[in-house]
Structure 1
Amino acid sequence: METVGEIDRQDERTPLLQHNGSQSPPEYQRRSSTTSNVTNPLETPIIDCEAGSSSTHNTSRRRLVILISFVLGMFVLESGDQLLKPAMVRIYEDTICRNYYATQQHELFPAGEDVPEEKCKIAPVQTELAFIRGLEPVFDAIPSLLVAIPLGMIADNQKIGRKPVFLAALMGPFCQMIWAIIVNRFSDIFPIRFVWFGSLFLITGGLSVINALLYTMIIDVTTPSERASTFFTMQLVGSYGPGLIMPLITTKIMESSGNWTSVACGISLVTCGYIMMSTVPETINFHNSDKDAQPEPTIDTTAAESDSINSESTIPPEKQSIWLRCKAQLGEFVDSSSFVFHSPHLRILVCSLMMCMLSLTRALETLLYYASARYGITIAKANLLNTVNAAVCMSVLFCLPFASAYLTGTIGISSQRKDLLIAQISVVLLAIGWYIVGLAPTLPFAIVGLVVYTLGSGFSGSVRSLAASFVEPHHQARLNSFIAIMTAIGNFVGSPLLAGLYGWGVSTGNPFWFGLPFVGLGSVFVVVGFALWFRLKLPEEGGAVVVDEDEEVLLRS
């Protein structure tokens, strides 16, 4: 995907595996071509230059509207999430704590009596908290793995598009959160571990599917040269903007009005964010409107070809049964996704994103109860660490587009080389930062480690942009669906490991071992960094270009 013009010529209707000269398309497609595309060669279309200029202006305006809608929707959704998560962690801890004292030490705090937060930092409570929160991503990953491929294919369907799938995926986590609230609010009726049943709501798509579709929709409306900068901007304003201000508000609400007030405010904001996201236009045909106004190349068909066409009988997809169509699409997806397994550099990039997603989704939450337990502060106070994280993230992501422009414009390196360089530097910072956090004896040292880690915030966007540059536009949804599956697997395996390391560290009673999860994350990023620095080769450096069985190049050099 090099220019907007190329996107115009390669839309979602392009076959996933194009036919070469020795193969001909199905009969129903060729019959359509012979009847609708045979024109008089003397008839030459007249191209209106003013109309073309107006079309370009309209495309730019529509792109801006879509991106602004995404940013505003993400900002509101993330603001609601910032209000919900810390309060829910404290509510989980309180529920577990009250149950523990009611059953194990009822003479201290009888059933129904409130337990001070400082009494909840004991090993049994913290271990159970880490266990419950750590296994949630495992159960979340199961429906994500089941639906990621079908939803990716549905999102690639011209008649359905990205938007309905995206909105359905957003509803899953929302309903899951409502279920967790019900379980904790009526903890005398439901055991706390019933929150795991909330994963059933993710059958419409979880966070991995949401991320995959979000990146796909952004790719739909951007060009390669602006893709990475757009990713960074979306993270800067849509994700980290709320993180800069909302932790302060959340802490104030939790300390003054209670945890449930913060939850109520968060649910209200998430609802508003969903409504805003529902106004985002469909993106799958973003570049097709201009193309539809222009004449397609004509195809001359000989009488011999027509006789051959009429003698064939192929059932068009729309007349096949649903089972046959799903089976054919699944086989097509498996065949077309094989380039990820055949490509060493894509394997490295996808695995890198797995580790990054684990770091983003669970490590920062683990940091809440780690800081609270090790440094003797409340979860509400520990939540202020998110403000530090967001402030540094915003600074980094604000500078990255300018750095990208400098590297590609002034220095003149390629977009792929630029993305790889940013990823290599970022992964070093991620590893060092987590090591400092895990080994920090005091809170100020942990904050320094968090700052160093956050300086690597450009990692995810640069790696995604680099991976997308290897794949043709009409394969983007499939690539992102594959990434969604792998990140779900990463959460499936990694989140229990983080919880286990934290639980084991707390059970020792020695605060030095409380930071084991972050030492483990630092070690993981050391391995990822080694692969990015010493194993990954771009095509321009001699890296292999993957070719499928029909000798069609799927990865551009």
Structure 2
Amino acid sequence: MSSAVVDEHEPLLRASLQPSRDHDADTKPSRKCWPHALALPVPAHDQPQNKTRIISCIFCLHFLINFSRYIVEVPLIRLFEIAICDRYFHAEAIDEKSCKLARIQNDLAIVVGWRFCFDALPILLTAIFYGRLADKHGRRLVLFLSCLGLVCSLVWIVVVCYANQVLPIKLVWVSSAFLLVGGGQRIAKSMVFVILADILEQPERTRYMYLLASIPHLTTLVAPLSANLFMRINIWIPFAIAVVCLILSFFVIWAMPESLILHPVDITPHIASVDSTSTLLDDDQTSSLEEASPQNTAEQDDIVKTASDKSWSQTSADIRALIRVSGLPLCLALSFLRPIAIVSRAFVYQHASESFGWPMSSTTWLRFAQATSSSLATLVLLPLISAYLGQRAFRAKRLDLNAIRLSLLITSVGFAIIWRSGASWVLLVGLFVCGLGEGFEPSVKGLATSLIGSSSNARLLTLVTGLEVTAKLIGGPLMARLFSIGRDEGHGSDGICFLASAVALLLLAGVALVAKI
């Protein structure tokens, strides 16, 4: 197999295998989307209006899902604490200070820690499955299932905690089973990025991905403050708001056109070599390929055989095909290794409390500092830079790759500052710098989706989601062990985990600097 450097405008298949792009308004879509009553073909003259509608819907949907998550983040821990405390004292309405006993706090740590692990399992088990489902039956089906699973999971937690005198608190772990329906919040997040990749071309796609990535950071500025206010009134109010937000999400999904059918015919498997083709086809695409090239070579016969396989071996074939695409191994490797490196950021709050004597409630300023810079980077700086360079014919793939390099370098510097912080204001500066590197995720997703056709976007981004979750499960215990170094009576952690993060990110930046797409 010969290799070649591929330009972003260069066709990735031989002319004999390229599908015709000439379609009239009545062209029938090549794949069925669910639900059929809502997924009607989109006429060509209506596509601009539908794109605007889709973009508006996914931004609204992304906000609702993230707001429902962050508004219950702190109340959820407090609700678990109340449930454990009530069973411990066999009474209700116990004062919060009375719940700070070591045994209660240990039980709380166990409940929260294992729930984090159990919530990760549905994502790992179903990520590729829902990616394939979205590529075949539409993105809205997966979004609907994800929101349904999130609602059921949250309602189950509320029921268990409300009936804490009857039901043991550990039953909240069962809530993770509901996330098997739709894969949870992370699969929903990957779907909204998939939809952007469906309807936009580079470099416009990456600019919108920056804006989309800013929404979680903006919600972290608003939702925790709202939760703090509502918790003073009633602990159940944030949960009611979260459920309402998720119910509203169903209406947004219903109002949103299906993005998959904006591309009526897309049989391009997109392997990055003009001398070879590969997999990632469904049944309809296979028949189209046979009609386009009656005299199949042995290599094309292998493609057809892989495309017709609907078992779990097809998942392995999809992954192998993605890995063979030039440039994708770099994107996948960075998507896996970077989350391991930045897990130490979760220990910043405890580090501030230990080193500077801050009460835990005051550590919210750390989150505010990071969220402010993250919002600045993804909402203002990166979109403006992308638009400016795009107008000057700066290649989209090169722009994404440089943004990845810069984000890794900036984040490495931020962790180095955190490691050497001898004062609280230095720690705030370090977190602010780390937040400026949050352009990595939309950049790497923008680059990855530009290397393949839209027919495989969902499988690619759900695979990335699975890698990110696996990385956090690996990085959590590793960074926790490094964070414990130096801790002794009267002495806090040495913060070696932050040094390890800085070094790891610097190495990843070095790899990205020498890489070429």
TM-score normalised to the size of structure 1?
Answer: 0.69
Is 1:72 aligned to residue 60 of structure 2? Answer: yes
Are the structure 2 counterparts of residues 117 and 384 from structure 1 closer, same or farther at C-alpha, using a change threshold of 3 Å?
farther
Q: Could you report, residue by residue, the CA deviation over 1:330-368 in whole angstroms, capped at 9, with x for unpaired residues?
A: 4444324313434684233213223455688x7666555
The offset of 1:486, in angstroms, is 1.6
Give the corresponding residue for 2:334.
Answer: 352
Give, in whole Å, the separation in 2 of the partners of 1:351 and 1:486. Answer: 9
CA RMSD of aligned residues (A): 4.3
Summarize the alignment of residues 351-370 of structure 1 with structure 2, pairs less than 5 Å apart: 351-356=333-338, 367=348
Letter matched to residue 477 of structure 1: A
Give the corresponding residue for 1:293.
Answer: none
Q: Percent identity, please.
A: 21
Letter matched to residue 180 of structure 1: I
Give, in whole Å, the separation in 1 of the partners of 2:481 and 2:108. Answer: 11
The offset of 1:259, in angstroms, is 3.7
Is 1:446 aligned to residue 422 of structure 2? Answer: no
Letter matched to residue 381 of structure 2: C
Of the three residues 73, 84, 91, the one matched with 2:79 is 91
Is 1:407 aligned to residue 389 of structure 2? Answer: yes
Of the three residues 203, 209, 224, the one matched with 1:231 is 209
TM-score normalised to the size of structure 2?
Answer: 0.74
Letter matched to residue 395 of structure 2: S
Letter matched to residue 156 of structure 1: D
Conserved in 2, the CA contact under 8 Å of 1:430 and 1:522?
A: yes
Letter matched to residue 94 of structure 2: D
The offset of 1:424, in angstroms, is 0.9
Give, in whole Å, the separation in 1 of the partners of 2:372 and 2:472. Answer: 26
The answer to which of 71-80 and 331-340 deviates more is 331-340
The offset of 1:110, in angstroms, is 8.7
Letter matched to residue 155 of structure 2: I
Are the structure 2 counterparts of residues 485 and 521 from structure 1 closer, same or farther at C-alpha, using a change threshold of 3 Å?
same
Give the corresponding residue for 1:146.
Answer: 125
The offset of 1:230, in angstroms, is 1.0
Of the three residues 226, 245, 250, the one matched with 2:227 is 250
The answer to which of 437-446 and 487-496 deviates more is 437-446
Gaps of 5+ in 2: 1-5, 18-41, 267-287, 296-303
Gaps of 5+ in 1: 11-16, 22-53, 103-108, 291-297, 309-316, 318-323, 539-557
Give, in whole Å, the separation in 1 of the partners of 2:415 and 2:116. Answer: 21
Letter matched to residue 120 of structure 2: A
Give the corresponding residue for 1:528.
Answer: 508
Conserved in 2, the CA contact under 8 Å of 1:436 and 1:445?
A: yes
Are the structure 2 counterparts of residues 449 and 97 from structure 1 closer, same or farther at C-alpha, using a change threshold of 3 Å?
farther
Are the structure 2 counterparts of residues 4 and 341 from structure 1 closer, same or farther at C-alpha, using a change threshold of 3 Å?
closer
Summarize the alignment of residues 539-550 of structure 1 with structure 2, pairs less than 5 Å apart: none
Summarize the alignment of residues 29-40 of structure 1 with structure 2, pairs less than 5 Å apart: none
The offset of 1:155, in angstroms, is 1.3
Are the structure 2 counterparts of residues 531 and 115 from structure 1 closer, same or farther at C-alpha, using a change threshold of 3 Å?
farther
Give, in whole Å, the separation in 2 of the partners of 1:333 and 1:235. Answer: 28
Is 1:82 aligned to residue 60 of structure 2? Answer: no
Give the corresponding residue for 1:546.
Answer: none
Give, in whole Å, the separation in 2 of the partners of 1:192 and 1:518. Answer: 34
Of the three residues 448, 469, 474, the one matched with 2:455 is 474
Are the structure 2 counterparts of residues 344 and 57 from structure 1 closer, same or farther at C-alpha, using a change threshold of 3 Å?
closer
Are the structure 2 counterparts of residues 119 and 134 from structure 1 closer, same or farther at C-alpha, using a change threshold of 3 Å?
closer
Is 1:427 aligned to residue 411 of structure 2? Answer: no
Secondary structure of 1:288 counterpart: coil
Are the structure 2 counterparts of residues 57 and 235 from structure 1 closer, same or farther at C-alpha, using a change threshold of 3 Å?
farther
Give, in whole Å, the separation in 1 of the partners of 2:351 and 2:251. Answer: 35
Letter matched to residue 474 of structure 1: S
Give, in whole Å, the separation in 2 of the partners of 1:439 and 1:187. Answer: 44
The offset of 1:472, in angstroms, is 2.5
The offset of 1:285, in angstroms, is 0.4
Give the corresponding residue for 2:369.
Answer: 388
The offset of 1:3, in angstroms, is 9.7
Of the three residues 119, 123, 136, the one matched with 2:115 is 136
Give, in whole Å, the separation in 2 of the partners of 1:509 and 1:115. Answer: 30
Secondary structure of 1:285 counterpart: helix
Of the three residues 126, 131, 135, the one matched with 1:156 is 135
Give, in whole Å, the separation in 1 of the partners of 2:228 and 2:421. Answer: 24
Of the three residues 407, 414, 417, the one matched with 2:398 is 417
Give the corresponding residue for 2:285.
Answer: none
The answer to which of 487-496 and 225-234 deviates more is 487-496
Give, in whole Å, the separation in 2 of the partners of 1:90 and 1:517. Answer: 28
Secondary structure of 2:153 counterpart: helix
Q: Could you report, residue by residue, the CA deviation over 1:391-446 in whole angstroms, capped at 9, with x for unpaired residues?
A: 22221121211111333433x44211111111111112222323444554544332
Are the structure 2 counterparts of residues 484 and 246 from structure 1 closer, same or farther at C-alpha, using a change threshold of 3 Å?
closer
Q: Could you report, residue by residue, the CA deviation over 1:233-268 in whole angstroms, capped at 9, with x for unpaired residues?
A: 1123x32332333333223333x3254333333333
Give the corresponding residue for 1:213.
Answer: 191
Give, in whole Å, the separation in 2 of the partners of 1:3 and 1:59. Answer: 23
Give the corresponding residue for 1:547.
Answer: none
Give, in whole Å, the separation in 2 of the partners of 1:112 and 1:523. Answer: 49
The offset of 1:231, in angstroms, is 0.2
Conserved in 1, the CA contact under 8 Å of 2:332 and 2:464?
A: yes
Give the corresponding residue for 1:265.
Answer: 241
The offset of 1:81, in angstroms, is 2.0
Give, in whole Å, the separation in 2 of the partners of 1:4 and 1:64. Answer: 25
Are the structure 2 counterparts of residues 119 and 489 from structure 1 closer, same or farther at C-alpha, using a change threshold of 3 Å?
same
Letter matched to residue 458 of structure 2: A
Q: Is the radius of gyration larger for structure 1 or structure 2?
A: 1
Give, in whole Å, the separation in 2 of the partners of 1:232 and 1:118. Answer: 45
Give, in whole Å, the separation in 2 of the partners of 1:506 and 1:265. Answer: 43
The answer to which of 442-451 and 63-72 deviates more is 442-451
Conserved in 2, the CA contact under 8 Å of 1:430 and 1:525?
A: yes
Give the corresponding residue for 2:177.
Answer: 200
Paired residue total = 456
